[in-house]
Structure 1
Amino acid sequence: MMKVLVCDPIADQGIERLRQEGDIEVTVATGLPREELIARVPVYDALVVRSETKVTREVIEAGTNLKAIGRAGVGVDNIDIDAATKRGVVVLNAPEGNTLAAVEHTIAMLMALARNIPQAHASLKAGKWERKAFMGIQVDGKTLGVIGLGRIGSEVARRMHALGMHVLGFDPFVAPERSAELGIEVVDLPRLFAAADFVTLHVPLTKETRHMIGSKEFAQMKDGVRIINCARGGVIDEQALYDAVKSGKVAGAALDVFEQEPLKTSPLLELDQVIVTPHLGASTEEAQINVAMHIAEEIIKVLKGEFFKNAVNVPSVPPALLAKLKPFMPLAESLGRLYTELAVGGHGRIEVIYRGFLAEHDVTLLTTAVLKGVLDPILQEKLNLVNARFVASERGIKVAEVKERDGDRYPAVIEVRGETEEGIRSVAGCLGENGMSRLVRINDYPIDLVPLGHMLVIDYEDRPGVIGRVGTILGRNNINIAYMQVGRKSAGGQAVMVLGIDDPAPADVLAEVSRVAEVTRVRPVEWWQAQEQ
């Protein structure tokens, strides 16, 4: 008999689903003190938690029979993922369970914003009858700009299209075929800003998306635009939003998320045109049932040895195969991330090419690691080696493995290749004798270097003096070159220059390098060394 301990309150339906399995015994014991949880956990095969219970390293190490930890929700900050991975415990979550709740809340906020519903409600409750004061607008025939076309953004777009809105979308990582299925016209941000009557955001908060909507972006928008953010606080510069509403540029905003939560004070709260809710996107009875049912199903699959898709850490792999592939896992993921940094536009089809002895093995795990690297910097949902392929497929990204046993001077090479808005882009790498990752090609130009930290990848015409001029610009701006490598196919033709620099190059320095006559492209990237799984 397998045993599951439910440590936090979840919907009864999830508990009942577990109990339906004749060989699973379920114990519900919520609010256990840390010491008691450590004392009780050794006999259990799985834990189910929400956010209250902290599944620490000590808990995991005490759980000598643990096979799975299920989080009935999305975030897993309360679980020590590294400790679980080292002990071979699968950590599961339920990322899809609250999608519709977030979609519906976004639409509710949009409609409330269009019709001034919260303001009219407060006025009538105060004993006033002010019909003229709360004149709204119809959404039919208006243009909606959706920034981020993942699960939630896509569903918002589909539903608002059905309500008669013309939908523009921005997401460079969604294949055109997928956007066409949803009735979305994919455009760049300037065009979206210029045309949209409503703008709704559905992106993760990363260093790239922090304050992605600020004063500059508001200035590009239509007068009287309305803004909705039910994604993540911080993607909008709240001071810039306040200024835009005060000036009349923005007619109103509907916000469910904020830079600081819980929100206690903000100039935005002073504005009647801004409606707010306290991060309620996933707060529905149905969403809580969904996440409980999802996590119950996943726990059952793990305990019965069946395939599961919502793991946050590494899936089990046959030991013999893992021993061969494990040293290449960090290289594969890092190459995927570098490819994304070098590519411009969406990922429609990606090839992962294996040369040398890797071509003799089942490299599915490595391809999945590449996909995780490709997608991780650009997606909101937590990616792992189980769900990376599922997410790629969901976004219309086709992945092909190519195996070439011969044709390279290195014992084993991984290459990531795809077609982007700027043409074919590719990166290739191998492991050196010391096990360190090496870059051996960028966009088919041969190079050979150990990548570290901040880099500039510069395409240029191979002419005398170009390297010196670029170096002079960096030196004049106090940017030290740590290493460099040049690759070319023939003298006087196109070439690539890779410069390792100690600090990131500011935008004005990049612009100055771009103005060198022979330089055709400058791309700042960072070599992110993935950790061995």
Structure 2
Amino acid sequence: SVKDSQWDRKRFIGTEVYKKTLGIVGLGKIGSHVAAAAKAMGMKLLAYDPFISAERAEQIGCRLVELDLLFQESDYITLHIPKTPETTHLINADAIAKMKPTTRIINCARGGIIDEDALFTALKEGRIAGAALDVFESEPLGESSLRQLGQEIILTPHLGASTAEAQVNVAVDVAEQIRDVLLGLPARSAVNIPGLHPDVMEQLRPYLQLAETLGNLVGQLAGGRVESLEIRLQGELANNQSQPIVVAALKGLLSQALRERVNYVNASIEAKERGIRVVETRDSARQDYMGSLHLEAKGTLGQHSVTGALLGDGEIRITDVDEFPINVPPNRYMVFTRHRDMPGIIGKIGSLLGSFNVNIASMQVGRKIVRGDAVMVLSIDDPLPEGILAEILKVPGIRDAYTVTL
């Protein structure tokens, strides 16, 4: 307006962030940086991250809360999480209904975390004060109702790293890493495990996949936030270098939370930042297989353990779940149950899944004593449809049930 020779100050009344509450969803590297900047501006910080300990959140300056409370109390909500099946449309009509009418939402993470139709309706009807989006469900943004809104929304074309400095820094960083490798120095951003002799790496490679698979499995069985991970190398494996196997197990453990952002270089760092205590032990006397690996995760929802081994042809076998003996290969989609060993329970589960057109590829039960507790492991061909896990838990004798995607 000043360029047009106007002095219309009333049109440009802003909103302070000082002493306002910022809700940060995801306290990874970027979320932590945002927290530091917001704290410097005098904001009160709430955070939700099921993979971060309360102690780590306090170090960053945030109060760790449940997601519903963050929605209810935040003046500003900023998203810093990957898009996964669990986070898709995390901000939907139900979530927005819990927010204050003065709340503003910021998404510079991934498109699809916000239900754009629900956001449009909320902004149009004045249920929340505003939104700023740099990412969208479909990019470039095509025909979208968001374009119809006015000053209550800011839309930018995925400009997160679009600065002159960032473009130069990326090119310089690549050039410097190529130079380092040619000079025989380690690559700083390699996605494989650095510093291992090729012969050692070749020998351990099959066990790295075993460790990553078991880490992924025990992380999903544990659910919630993992506080500690015990990694026990057994049999002949106990005589090998443990660092690569520990890193692979951590990579698997964190893969559900971080997806493609976790690799063999940063897995240990990410685990430390999340307050996960790692305990490494060895048991060379254990000779069930030539070499096996045992992982035990303890967290906010209890503890679970898994053991796995390699067969002669290198095929991975899960040999133990929560101290119950089994022998099953990992499958893309699996269902695990803890139940009472009683007649008819296996048939009921099979009939239930069949009624929902779920095809069972294999099934195995592990038990310690007759008529005691048992574990059932089902490999299925497709993801378990929504709502069926709750139906499984209603079957008499079923104590716990979990879905796992590997």
Q: Cα RMSD (Å) of the superposition?
A: 2.4
Of 16, 32, 42 in structure 2, the residue corresponding to residue 164 of structure 1 is 42
Q: Quick one: distance in 1 between partners of 2:260 and 2:8?
A: 44
- Look up the match of 1:24: none
1:323 maps to 2:202: yes
Q: Quick one: distance in 2 between partners of 1:517 and 1:173?
A: 32
- Look up the match of 1:362: 241
Of 104, 112, 116 in structure 2, the residue corresponding to residue 238 of structure 1 is 116
Of 324, 337, 342 in structure 2, the residue corresponding to residue 458 of structure 1 is 337
| Segment drifting more, 444-453 vs 150-159 | 444-453
CA change 1:382–1:299 in 2 (3 A) is farther
1:309–1:387 contact (8 Å) kept in structure 2: no
> Within 5 Å, which residues of 2 pair with 1:12-91?
none
Of 382, 385, 388 in structure 2, the residue corresponding to residue 503 of structure 1 is 382
- Look up the match of 1:212: 90
- Look up the match of 1:184: 62
CA change 1:126–1:420 in 2 (3 A) is farther
- Look up the match of 1:409: 288
CA change 1:193–1:463 in 2 (3 A) is farther
Q: Quick one: distance in 2 between partners of 1:309 and 1:389?
A: 15
> Within 5 Å, which residues of 2 pair with 1:141-152?
141-152=19-30
Aligned length: 405
- Look up the match of 1:282: 161
AA aligned to 2:50 is P
CA change 1:323–1:194 in 2 (3 A) is same
1:449 maps to 2:323: no
- Look up the match of 1:249: 127
Deviations 1:68-120 (A, max 9, x none): xxxxxxxxxxxxxxxxxxxxxxxxxxxxxxxxxxxxxxxxxxxxxxxxxxxxx
Of 306, 310, 322 in structure 2, the residue corresponding to residue 431 of structure 1 is 310
Give the secondary-structure state (helix, strand or coil) at the position aligned to 1:212: coil
CA change 1:265–1:496 in 2 (3 A) is same
What displacement does 1:482 show?
1.7
AA aligned to 1:353 is R
- Look up the match of 2:219: 340
CA change 1:138–1:399 in 2 (3 A) is same
AA aligned to 1:155 is H
Structure 2 residue runs of 5 or longer lacking an equivalent are none
Deviations 1:290-347 (A, max 9, x none): 4345444433432232333311345463233223212222222111222222222223
Q: Quick one: distance in 2 between partners of 1:128 and 1:492?
A: 85
| Segment drifting more, 386-395 vs 428-437 | 386-395
1:447–1:487 contact (8 Å) kept in structure 2: yes
Q: Quick one: distance in 2 between partners of 1:377 and 1:124?
A: 51
AA aligned to 1:229 is N
Q: Quick one: distance in 2 between partners of 1:397 and 1:145?
A: 23
What displacement does 1:155 show?
1.3
Give the secondary-structure state (helix, strand or coil) at the position aligned to 2:129: strand
AA aligned to 2:300 is E
Deviations 1:117-160 (A, max 9, x none): xxxxxx66677665445544322232211111111101111221
AA aligned to 1:416 is L
- Look up the match of 2:100: 222
What displacement does 1:385 show?
2.2
2:234–2:285 contact (8 Å) kept in structure 1: yes
AA aligned to 1:455 is M
Q: Quick one: distance in 2 between partners of 1:345 and 1:194?
A: 21
CA change 1:474–1:133 in 2 (3 A) is same
What displacement does 1:392 show?
2.6
Structure 1 residue runs of 5 or longer lacking an equivalent are 1-122, 529-533
Q: Quick one: distance in 1 between partners of 2:260 and 2:331?
A: 27
- Look up the match of 1:260: 138
TM-score, normalised via structure 1 length: 0.71
What displacement does 1:184 show?
0.9
Give the secondary-structure state (helix, strand or coil) at the position aligned to 2:264: coil
CA change 1:407–1:165 in 2 (3 A) is same
- Look up the match of 2:180: 301
Give the secondary-structure state (helix, strand or coil) at the position aligned to 1:507: coil
1:454–1:503 contact (8 Å) kept in structure 2: yes
2:111–2:135 contact (8 Å) kept in structure 1: yes
1:196 maps to 2:102: no
Give the secondary-structure state (helix, strand or coil) at the position aligned to 1:174: coil
Q: Quick one: distance in 2 between partners of 1:369 and 1:256?
A: 33
Deviations 1:242-282 (A, max 9, x none): 11212222211011112222335422122111012222222
What displacement does 1:515 show?
1.7
TM-score, normalised via structure 2 length: 0.91
Give the secondary-structure state (helix, strand or coil) at the position aligned to 1:379: helix
1:350–1:397 contact (8 Å) kept in structure 2: yes
What displacement does 1:212 show?
2.2
AA aligned to 2:333 is H
1:203–1:380 contact (8 Å) kept in structure 2: no
- Look up the match of 1:97: none
Deviations 1:413-454 (A, max 9, x none): 112222111211222111123321111111222211122221
